[in-house]
Amino acid sequence: MQNKQYTITVTENAPLMEYLTKKLSDHSRTSLRSLIVHGQIWLNGTKMLTDREFPLKKGDKLEIRSSKTLLKKKKLIHSHMHVVHEDDDVMVVYKKEGFLTVGTEKDKINTVYHVLNKYMKSYGRDKRIYVVHRLDRETSGLLIFAKSQEVQETLQKNWTKMVPERSYWAVVTGTMPDKKGVIKSYLTEDKSLIMHASDKDNGGDYAELEYEVLQEKSPYTLLKLSLETGRKNQIRVQLKSVGCPIVGDKKYGSTYKTAGRVCLHAGMLHFIHPVTKKHHQFEAPLPVEFKKLLK
Q: Where are the domains of the chain?
A: 6-68, 70-158, 167-266
What is 167-266's CATH number?
3.30.2350.10
pLDDT at 10 over 70: yes
Phi/psi at 224 (5° precision): -105, 130
Percent of the chain predicted with pLDDT > 90: 64
Options 3.40.50.300, 1.10.3720.10, 3.10.290.10, 3.40.50.880; CATH of 6-68: 3.10.290.10
pLDDT at 77 over 90: no
Q: How confident is the model at residue 73 (pLDDT cuts 50, 70, 90)?
A: very low
Q: Let me know if the fold of 6-68 is the same as that of 167-266.
A: no
Model confidence pLDDT, tens digit, residues 88-109:
899 999 999 999 999 887 878 8
Quick: pLDDT tens for 156-179.
999 999 999 999 999 999 999 999
Closest alpha carbon to 90 in 139, 46, 154: 154
Give whichever of 18-27, 34-43, 44-53, 61-70 has the largest mean pLDDT.
18-27
Q: For residue 155, is pLDDT > 80? A: yes
pTM of the entire structure?
0.74
Quick one: CATH architecture of 70-158? 2-Layer Sandwich (3.30)
